[in-house]
Structure 1
Amino acid sequence: MDSVRKGSDVRTSPGPRELFDASTDAAAVVSADGIVVGWTRGAEELLGYPAPEVVGGSAARLLAVPGDPVRVTGVAERCRTGMGWSGLIPVRHRDGRRIEVDLRVSASFRIGGDECFLLSAREQKPQWTMGESVLDGFLTRSPVGMAVMDTQLRYVWLNDTLERFGGVPREQRLGRRLSELLPGLQADTLEGLMRKVLATGVPVTDYEYVGWSWADPHRQHAYSTSFFPLVDADNSVTGVCYMVLDVTERWNARQLLSLVNEAGTSIGRTLDVMRTAQELADFVVPRFADFVVVDLLEPVLSTEGHGAWLTDAGPAPAKPLMRRAGMSSVREGCPEAVARIGDRVDFLPPPHDVNLLISGEPILIPVLDPSDALWVAEQPARTASIREFGLHSLISVPMRARNTALGLTTFVRSLNPVSFQPDDVLLACELVARAALCVDNARRYTREHTAAVTLQRSLLPHALSGGTALDVAFYYLPADPTGGVGGDWFDVIPLSGARVGLVVGDVVGHGITAAAAMGRLRTAVQTLADMEMPPDELLAHLDDLVLRLSEERTSDEADNQSTSAFLGATCLYAVYDPATRRCTMARAGHLPPVVVAPDGHVSFPELPAGPPLGLGGMAFETTEIELAENSLLGLFTDGLVEGVDRDMELGMSRLGAVLAQPDLNLGTLCSSAVQQLVPVSQPDDVALLLARTHALGADQVASWDVPVNPAAVADVRARATRRVEAWGLGELAMTTELIVSELVTNAIRYAAPPIRLRLLRDSRLTCEVADASSTAPRLRHARSMDEGGRGLFLVAQLAHRWGARFSADGKIIWAEQEIP
C-alpha cells in the first residue's frame, strides 16, 4: 500500500498510515461534563485561544455548529467502553473563522475523581504531498468508503471515508473483523456475503442495508455496499475488497415515496369524516410520529350549512371552534392527550392565531421548550404533558382542500429521539394534503346524503291508518349509505264509501333526484286517488306525469351534463272496498302483491304486468279479486325479495312463508319479515306494507232502490231517517234527511235510472246515491232571486266532505258526516 503514496497531489486529510503527533497536533483534556481541563500550545496555535480563556469553561462554545446532545452522548458511551472515536468536526477560531478539524477522542480515563477524555485535532487543509499517485488520491479522498479484508475477513487496509462512516479509528480496525467492531451494521450478513465472494469469486454489488454506526449512534443510516475478490498473479483469491456508499438520502426519499403511496390506500377508505381523520392518525404512528392529533373545525363535522370555512369567507374568530376527530399514540390510551375524541379543542401552537388554519404555513418546532413563556401562558395543560411524557419535537400542518379550511393536524415525537427536520415537514404536508381531500370528499358526501335522507324522510308517511276497513303496518329500510337513498315509497289513502287505497312504488336511481321524484309521484297519487280514479286510469295519468318529468330532466341535461335523466318508476295501486270485500288493483311494471288467506294459504294474484311508468303509449289493466275477512295483503318493493342470489321467485316464496306465520301482531310480523329477508344492509331500499282486511257487516249497510218519481223522495227520506236512528245516530237524523232529500231529488230530476240509495255506517256515516248517468254534478252559487240551484251547496255545508266517483254503470254521488 505504501508504494502507491508516491508523487504529488492535494490532500485534505492525513494519510492512512499517518498518526497524530502529540508534539505538534492540538490537544485538550475535557471532563465528562464538557469543561476544558487542559489546553496545549498546539491547541492555542490552532484556534487562537490562550489557555486562561479556555480552561475552566465549556468546550461547546468552541464548536461552529449547534450542539448535538444525542451524538455527544453516543460518543461518550463508546469511549467509556475502552474504544476511541474519530470524525470531522467544524470549530470556531478566536477571530471568527470556521475551521474543519479531524478530531479524535480517546478512551475515558480519570484524573483524580473526575472522568476525562483526551481530544486531539488536526486542521483539514489542502496540502501538497510528493510521491503519491492519482490512484492513492482516489482511494484516500473518494466519497466511497473502501477497505481490504484478508481471507479471514480481518481489516488490512481502509480509507478515510470508511473510517468516518463507522466512527472507529483506523488503528482499532486493522487486524480485527467487522463483527467485532460494528455489530449494529448487520455485520454477520455482510461477512456472509464476503465469504460467498471468497468462495465463488463472483462479485456482489449494490447490497443495501440500514444500520447504526458509532459516528452517529442515534440515527439510522442506509448504505450501499459492493464486494469483489482480490486476485494475485496465479489467480488465487487473496482477500476481499469492499466499497460502502452512504445512500441515506436516497433511501429516505424512497421510503417517503413508499409511505405516501401506502397512505393513498390506507387513508380515506370510507366516506366518513371522523373515520378518515382516525385513519390518518393510525397510519403515521409509529411510522412517522409518536403522537398525532387531528382536530377538525366544527362546521366540517356539521351537516348544516356549507360545512366549512372558506379561505375567502372574511374575518375569522380569534379562536377556532374545533373538535378532536382522531388521535393515536405509541403509548396505549394516548395519555399525552389533554382532550378525547369528540371533545372541543382550540389548540394552535403559540404564538399563532386562527389565520394559521386559513392561510398559514406548516409549523416546525424541532425542539419543544416546556419553559417557553408563551406555552406556559397559553397552553398550561399541554405544557405539563410535554414535561411529563418528554415530547420534544412538533410539526403542525393546517388541513385544507379545495380552498376550504378543514382543521389542523399535529405530529409529535417523544420516544423517537430524532427531532423533526425540514424534510419531515414535506412528508407531513403530503400526508395531510391527501387526508384533507378524503375528509373534504367525506364531508361533501355526508352533507349530500344527509340532505337526501332528510328529504326522503320528510316525503314518506310517518303514520298510516286504514280506518275500520284495514289494519295496516309498514316497515321501511333505507339502502346502504354508500349507495345513496332510494326512491321507494308507499301510502294508505282513505277513499269514499269506507274504501281504502293502497300504493307502493319504486323510482329508478338513487340520491336526491330519486327522493324528489318519489315525493312528486306520491303527491300525484294522492291527488289522483282523491279524484276517485280507478287504478288503471290513475296509473295512466301517473305515466303521463313521469313522461313530463323525463322531458324536463332531458332538457336540463343539455345545460348541465352532470344531471341524470329521470328514467322512470314502477307502481302498484289497489283499492279495497270493505262493503263488498273486493280489491281492485293495477300495476305498472311492479311486483304483484302477496295474499295470505285466513287459513294460511299464500298466493300471488296474477295481474297484468303493465309497462313501467315513463314509457308511454301502452294501456294498464285492472284486476279485481275477492278477499275473505282477515286476509293479509302485502305490497312490497323488489329490494325485499332480491336477496344476495338475485332470485326474485325464490325471494317471493320466502316472503310468503314468513307472512304465513299465525298469531303474530301485524307490526311485529312486518318488521320480522324484513329482518329475516334482509339481515344486512344492501344497495336498494326496502319497503313492505301489510294490510289485514275487515268487512262491513250487514247491519252496517242499508240500501234502497229509488223509483223515478218525485213522490218517492219522501218515502226514501223517511226510511233513511229511521235507519240512522236505529243505528243510534239520532243527532245526525235531520242532516241525513236533508242530504238524502237533496241528492235523491237531483238524481230523479237530472240523472238516468236505475237510481239507488245506500247508507254506510263506518267511522263516518256515508250517504251514496248511484245512477246510470255519466254527467258529473257541479256546485253552483245561486243568486238571491233564483228558485233553485242550492241543493249541492246545502249538501256541501252539511257534510264533512262530498264528491262523485264514476263506475262502469254510471256514477255515485256521496256525502260523509262525522259521527259524534
Structure 2
Amino acid sequence: MGTHEEQDVARQRFDVADAVPLLLDAQGVVTSWTRDAQRLLNYAAAEVVGTRVTGLLTTEDAARLPELAERCRRDGGWAGLLTARRKDGRPVRVMVRVTPAVEPGGVAHWLVLVSDMADAGGWDMSRPVLEQMVNGSPVGIAIVDANLRFVWSNDALAKFGGGSPQDRLGLRMADIQPGIDTEAIEEQMRQVLATGRAVVGYEHVGRIRSAPHRETAHMMSFTRLDDDRGHPMGVYYTVVDVTERHRARQRLALLDRAGEHIGRTLDIVRTAQELADVAVPGFADYICVDLLESVLRGAEQAPGPLSDAHPVPLRRAGHQSVHPGTPEAVVEIGEVAAYVAGSPPIRSLTTGRSWREERLDPLAKEWATGIPGGREATFLELGLHSVIIVPIRARGVTLGVTTFFRRARQEPFDEDDLSLAEDLVSRAAVCVDNARRYTRERNAALVLQRSLLPHRLPEQNAVEVAACYRPADELTGLGGDWYDLIPLSGARVALVVGEVPGHGIDAAAAMGRLRTAVRTLAALDLPPEEVLAHLDDLVAQTAREEGVDPDGSDSGGVQVAGAGCVYVVYDPVDGQCSMAAAGHPAPAVVLPDGTVSFVDLPQGPPLGAGGLPFEAVELALAEGSTLALHTDGLLARGEDWAVDAGRDRLRRALERVAPSLDLRCRAVVDALVPDRPYDDVALLMARTRLLGEDQVADWDLPADPAIVADARKEAARQLAEWGLEEFAFTTELVVSELVTNAIRHADGPIRLRLIRESALICEVSDGGATAPHLRHPRTTDEGGRGLLLVSQFTQRWGTRFVPEGKVIWAEQSLTESPA
C-alpha cells in the first residue's frame, strides 16, 4: 500500500500488541525471531534466523518479494496480505506490515509485524473458503478495502479486464483499467461505504482495452463489509456481462425510434431522410437511401425483383453521417445515384436480397462511380470499413436500396446487425410505399382539381382580373372553394366565387358539379338573382335524389347542399354592376382613390336550403374600381372569429398598393391567410374598365318596315368609321333580319346597338317577352330563314331578357375573316 492512509487502515485491522514482530536486514534475511513467531509458524529460532524470509512464504508470494521490497524502499513501507507456510507445510493467511528500522550507526533493518488473519475479527480470506465460494462461478467477484484498493478477487474477474487476482492486489481500479469510466464505479463504492446501503443492478457501459471497437455492458452490485464492531472495512462487489442484453435493448430502442420518427409525413423524400436520421449514429456511421425515380413520381411498381437487363435509375432520397455535411456522399439529395453495373447495390436491388461485408477492401473504389464528373474515392479515403445493403421492399415491390456503413471506430457488422437493418428498413419501406401511394393519389387529385378550376381566365375587355386559391388541406391541395369569370353577351362578364362545405377530393368533386351548373345557367343570360334561384332548385333536387336532407347534420359525406355563392354581372358599356348572394360574404369595392367599402348585399340562404327568395342590388362603378370577391376563409382566424374584425383586416390589406393587380391579389392572401389556413380561401379581384364612346353606337328605331333599309345604311356607315368595311355585308344581313323580326313580332320601342370590343356585337332590343327560335324551313316555305342565316354568318347569337323586354344579339369575331 505504502501511503499513510493505508497504514491507518492496516492499523485498524490489528493492534501492535497482538502482532508478531520480526526483524529483517536490508537483504531480507531474518535477524530476530520471537516466541510468538515460533507459536505462529512452528519454527524454532535456530531454524529461521540467518535464512531469507522467502523460505517462510508460499512459492507464489515468495516470487512477489522483489516487487514488494522495491515498493518498501520507494514508499517507506508496505502493508498487505500474504500467505505464510508453517513448518508442517500448512498455509496460513497473515496480515503483514513492513516499516524501516534504523539502528545506531546507520545500519538499515526492516521491522515486520505479522498478524494471524485466522484469529482476527476482520478479514478471513483462507483459500479453502474462497475457493468453495467462487469455484466455477462465471460471475466476477472482488473485495476492495476502504481506500478502494483490491484486497481479493476471483479468477472470473480477469475476463472483464485488469489482469489476474495477484496483479490487482493493493491497486485501485483506475490503475489497472484506465480505459473505462472508473470514476463512476468508484463513486458507487464510496456511496456504499458512506451509507451502508447496497447498490444492486448498476449498469456500466463502455469499451474495454481488449475489445476497443466493441461496446460492452456490465451489471454490477456493491455491498459494504463491516468488522466485528460494525466499522466499514471495504466493499464486496460482483460483475456480470450483460452486453448481449444491452445490445438487444438498443435494437428494440432503435426500432421504437424508427416507429416514432419514420413516416410522420406523407412526403417520400422526407420519409427516406427520416430513415437515415434514425440510424445515425446509434447503428451506423453513414447511411444513404436511394429510391427508384418512378417511386419518387408515385408510379405503381410491378411486383417482384427488378430486371438487371437495363440500367436501373436511382436517385438519392436521403443520407446522413456522423460528420457534418456528409463528406462521404458522392451525390447530393435529388441527384442521380448511378451505381456501376454489377455493384453490390445493383445486385441487391435486382435480386431483392440483402448483402453484408464485414471488411471492405480499403483500396476498392466507391461503387457510385457511374456519375458523369462525379468524384471517385476509395473506402480507405472515405474511412468506411464495413457495410450492409438492404433492398427497400414493401408489399412485394422493390422501391430502392439502403446502404449502411461503419467506420473504423466501430466493430464490423455481424449477422445480428443484418437482421436489425432488415427490420429497420422493412418498417421504413411501408412508410415509403404509403408516401408513394399518397403521391400517386395526390397527383391524380390535383389533376382533377386543375380540371375543375379554370386553367386560365378568359381574355375580355370588361375587367382586368387576378385570382388566388389556397386550400386548407395542405396534404391533398384540394378544397371546395372556386372562382370563375364567364363572358356574357353585350361585352358583359359574370364574376363568380363560391364554396362547398368540407375539404379534400369529395369537396373538389362537388365543387366541379356546382361550377358546371353555374356556367350552364350563365349561358342563359339570366339576372343574378334568377341564376341563384335556379341553382338553389338544382342543388335541392340533387340532394333529394341522393337521399340527403339539406338541413340535416348527417349527410354521409361532402354534398353540394349548403354551398355558398356570389354572382356578379358587370357591364362595361355603362359601368353598371348587379349582384346577388346565397349564404356568401358580400364583395368589397376598392374605388380608384383607394377607399375600401363593402357592398350592402342582402344575404340569401345557402344553396339547397330553400326559404326566402334571392335579392339583387345594382350599383354604378367608376372606371378603375376593383371588385374583391372572396370566400369566408379569407376572413377566418380560427374557430372563434368575428365578421367585423375579419373585414377590418381585409380592408387594411386592400388599402395597400401593389405594382400589379396579380401581386396585389397575392399580397392580400399572404397578409390574411396563415401558412396552414383554417379554411379554404379563394379571392377574385376584378378592376373595371369602360368602353369608350367611339366603341358603342345606338339608334332608336320606329316600328316601321321601311326603317330596315335606313338601319342597314347606318350600320354600314358606322362600320366604315371604325374601319371594319369588310364586315359590312354580314352586319347588314344581321341588322336586317333582327330589326325585321322585332318589327314583325314585338311591341314597343326598338333599339339597335353596335359594340366594337374584342368582337363586333349587334343588338336589337324590343318590348316583347317571347324569344325567337331557330328552325329549319322547308323548301316550299317563303320565310323562316332569318335566324338560320344569322346563326350561319355569326360566331354566336342569343336572347337575353331585360326588365323592358328582351335583347337579341349576335357576335362576329374581329380576329377571323368574315363569312
Aligned to 1:578: 572
SS at match of 1:776: coil
Instruction: Name the CA distance, whole Å, in 2 between partners of 1:667 and 1:597.
Output: 17
Alignment of 1:47-446 (within 5 A): 136-303=131-298, 305-306=299-300, 308-311=301-304, 317=309, 319-345=311-337, 347=339, 356-357=348-349, 360-369=352-361, 385-446=378-439
Instruction: Name the CA distance, whole Å, in 2 between partners of 1:562 and 1:456.
Output: 23
Instruction: Name the CA distance, whole Å, in 2 between partners of 1:802 and 1:779.
Output: 11
Instruction: Name the CA distance, whole Å, in 1 between partners of 2:261 and 2:428.
Output: 10
SS at match of 2:606: coil
Aligned to 1:82: none
Whether contact under 8 Å (1:588, 1:611) holds in the other structure is yes
Instruction: Name the CA distance, whole Å, in 2 between partners of 1:198 and 1:266.
Output: 44
Shift of 1:209: 1.2
Whether contact under 8 Å (2:586, 2:599) holds in the other structure is yes
Q: Is 2:631 aligned against 1:633?
A: no
Alignment of 1:420-569 (within 5 A): 420-465=413-458, 467-477=460-470, 481-482=474-475, 484-547=477-540, 564-568=557-561, 569=563
Aligned-partner residue type, residue 688 of structure 2: T
Within the candidate set 650, 653, 658, 2:653 is matched to 658
SS at match of 1:344: coil
Alignment of 1:696-711 (within 5 A): 696-697=691-692, 700-711=695-706
User: CA deviation digits over 1:262-283, x for unaligned, max 9?
Assistant: 2333333333222222222233
Instruction: Name the CA distance, whole Å, in 2 between partners of 1:424 and 1:251.
Output: 14
SS at match of 1:185: coil
SS at match of 2:239: strand
Instruction: Name the CA distance, whole Å, in 2 between partners of 1:358 and 1:542.
Output: 58
Whether contact under 8 Å (2:145, 2:233) holds in the other structure is yes
Instruction: Name the CA distance, whole Å, in 2 between partners of 1:473 and 1:735.
Output: 36
Shift of 1:374: 13
Aligned to 2:786: 791
Whether contact under 8 Å (1:634, 1:689) holds in the other structure is yes
Aligned-partner residue type, residue 574 of structure 1: V
User: CA deviation digits over 1:281-333, x for unaligned, max 9?
Assistant: 23322221122111111211124x32x34328x85645532122222223444
Shift of 1:788: 0.9
With 652-661 and 591-600 compared, the bigger mean Cα shift is at 652-661
Alignment of 1:581-592 (within 5 A): 581-592=575-586
Shift of 1:408: 0.8
Whether contact under 8 Å (1:350, 1:374) holds in the other structure is no
Whether contact under 8 Å (2:366, 2:379) holds in the other structure is no
Aligned to 1:74: none
Instruction: Name the CA distance, whole Å, in 1 between partners of 2:273 and 2:366.
Output: 29
Whether contact under 8 Å (1:754, 1:772) holds in the other structure is yes
Whether contact under 8 Å (1:413, 1:419) holds in the other structure is yes
Aligned to 1:748: 743
SS at match of 2:475: helix
Aligned to 1:677: 672
Whether contact under 8 Å (2:537, 2:608) holds in the other structure is yes
Aligned to 1:120: none
Q: How many residues in Structure 1 have an aligned counterpart in Structure 2?
A: 688
Whether contact under 8 Å (2:293, 2:315) holds in the other structure is yes
Shift of 1:718: 4.5
Instruction: Name the CA distance, whole Å, in 2 between partners of 1:551 and 1:165.
Output: 81
SS at match of 2:439: helix
Aligned to 1:764: 759
Instruction: Name the CA distance, whole Å, in 2 between partners of 1:398 and 1:430.
Output: 11
Instruction: Name the CA distance, whole Å, in 1 between partners of 2:763 and 2:657.
Output: 38
Whether contact under 8 Å (1:480, 1:683) holds in the other structure is no
Instruction: Name the CA distance, whole Å, in 1 between partners of 2:143 and 2:803.
Output: 111
With 390-399 and 190-199 compared, the bigger mean Cα shift is at 190-199
Instruction: Name the CA distance, whole Å, in 1 between partners of 2:387 and 2:349.
Output: 17
Instruction: Name the CA distance, whole Å, in 2 between partners of 1:615 and 1:260.
Output: 53
- Between structure 1 and structure 2, the one with the greater Rg is 2
Distance 1:562 1:587, change over 3 A: closer
Shift of 1:196: 2.5
Shift of 1:446: 2.3
SS at match of 1:655: helix
SS at match of 1:238: strand
Instruction: Name the CA distance, whole Å, in 1 between partners of 2:655 and 2:369.
Output: 72
Whether contact under 8 Å (1:277, 1:439) holds in the other structure is yes
Instruction: Name the CA distance, whole Å, in 2 between partners of 1:720 and 1:650.
Output: 54
Whether contact under 8 Å (2:637, 2:678) holds in the other structure is no
User: CA deviation digits over 1:767-817, x for unaligned, max 9?
Assistant: 322233332211111111111111111222233321111223432211223
Distance 1:430 1:355, change over 3 A: same
Shift of 1:136: 4.2
Gaps of 5+ in 1: 1-16, 23-130, 556-560
Whether contact under 8 Å (1:474, 1:689) holds in the other structure is yes
SS at match of 1:747: helix
Instruction: Name the CA distance, whole Å, in 2 between partners of 1:178 and 1:134.
Output: 25
Distance 1:578 1:259, change over 3 A: same
Q: Is 2:612 aligned against 1:621?
A: no
Q: Report % sequence identity.
A: 52
Instruction: Name the CA distance, whole Å, in 2 between partners of 1:766 and 1:583.
Output: 20
Distance 1:459 1:21, change over 3 A: farther
With 269-278 and 759-768 compared, the bigger mean Cα shift is at 759-768
Aligned-partner residue type, residue 147 of structure 1: A
Shift of 1:462: 4.0
With 736-745 and 641-650 compared, the bigger mean Cα shift is at 641-650
Aligned-partner residue type, residue 651 of structure 2: G
User: CA deviation digits over 1:380-428, x for unaligned, max 9?
Assistant: x999522334432111111122332111111111232411122212221
Q: Is 2:804 aligned against 1:804?
A: no
TM-score (norm 1): 0.75
| Aligned-residue CA RMSD (Å) | 3.8
Distance 1:18 1:296, change over 3 A: farther
Whether contact under 8 Å (2:362, 2:378) holds in the other structure is no
Whether contact under 8 Å (1:489, 1:506) holds in the other structure is yes
Aligned to 1:110: none
User: CA deviation digits over 1:183-231, x for unaligned, max 9?
Assistant: 3333222222223222322212111111333454442221111111223
Instruction: Name the CA distance, whole Å, in 2 between partners of 1:376 and 1:762.
Output: 63
User: CA deviation digits over 1:750-779, x for unaligned, max 9?
Assistant: 233344433334343333222333322111
Whether contact under 8 Å (2:162, 2:176) holds in the other structure is no
Instruction: Name the CA distance, whole Å, in 1 between partners of 2:369 and 2:709.
Output: 97
Gaps of 5+ in 2: 1-57, 64-125, 549-553
Shift of 1:605: 0.9
Distance 1:398 1:732, change over 3 A: closer
Shift of 1:343: 3.3
